[in-house]
Amino acid sequence: EAEVAQSPRYKITEKSQAVAFWCDPISGHATLYWYRQILGQGPELLVQFQDESVVDDSQLPKDRFSAERLKGVDSTLKIQPAELGDSAMYLCASSFHYQETQYFGPGTRLLVL
Amino acid sequence: AQTVTQSQPEMSVQEAETVTLSCTYDTSESNYYLFWYKQPPSRQMILVIRQEAYKQQNATENRFSVNFQKAAKSFSLKISDSQLGDTAMYFCAFMKHGGNTPLVFGKGTRLSVIA
């Protein structure tokens, strides 16, 4: 069964360093989402791609976060510089179409010291 | 803006028993989708069940069923014959119909199934 892949699974970094997360969606899925999940909370959308285009990044802190999906397949989420408050689980999800069911990857757990 | 409320932070149930998780939502939309997702400890989130608001019939998936009350804006999940593998965080989520709209999640309910 096809799955969403994410790496790394865990990342520990120091404040002010740069970090990057990678996501490979299910093959053929045009829509890709990055969510942030703070411990004890539900996920919140950071950015949504339709193919290679950003369709919603209203909740992305653009002074430090960036996201790209250059060829409309895999995607990278970057944080520079990382802050203590960025410690969270970063989830990637994909769907065949933007109104279809979203399938989630295992997530990257980030700890900023 | 849409909001999703899960009023039970934690619940427990004996193996083989039935448990119901509550979810309410607030929206002015008439057409939308509702979901229950399960997030087991240290494992990825998976879809449990999906309901289209225009369908009056409640969705079911094996031991999982929902009670969708559109007028009351309520969407509860019933798990029958609970199994140890049902232990997880359960998230209720809302998605507006039409356009590029994200999932809006509740804060989750931690369910423990006890042997």
pLDDT at A99: 78
Tokens of B114: 């006890």
Nearest to B105 among A3, A43, A101 (CB): A43
Share of chain A above pLDDT 90, in %: 88
Q: Is the pLDDT of residue A12 over 90?
A: yes
Q: What is the C-alpha separation between B112 and A81, in angstroms, rounded?
A: 38
* Residue ranges of chain B whose pLDDT lies below 50: none
User: What per-residue confidence (pLDDT) applies to A2?
Assistant: 81
Token output for A55: 């369709």
Nearest chain B Cα to A33, which residue?
B102
Q: What is the pLDDT of residue B89?
A: 96
- Report, as an integer, the average pLDDT of A93-105: 89
* Chain B residue with Cα closest to A104: B45
Kindly state whether A107 is in contact with chain B, defined as any CB-CB distance less than 8 angstroms.
Answer: yes
User: What local confidence, expressed as pLDDT, does residue B4 receive?
Assistant: 96
Looking at residue B43, its pLDDT comes to 82
Question: A71 near A65, Cβ under 8 Å?
Answer: no
Question: How many CA within 13 A on the CB side of residue B8?
Answer: 19
Contact yes or no for B47 and A103 at CB 8 A: yes
Task: Give A63 to chain B, closest Cα distance, Å.
Answer: 22
**What's the rounded mean pLDDT across residues A82-90?**
96
pLDDT at B91: 97
Tell me if A102 and B103 make a contact (CB, 8 A cut-off): yes
C-alpha to C-alpha distances, A97 to A28, A49, B20, B32, B90, nearest whole angstrom = 10, 11, 31, 15, 24
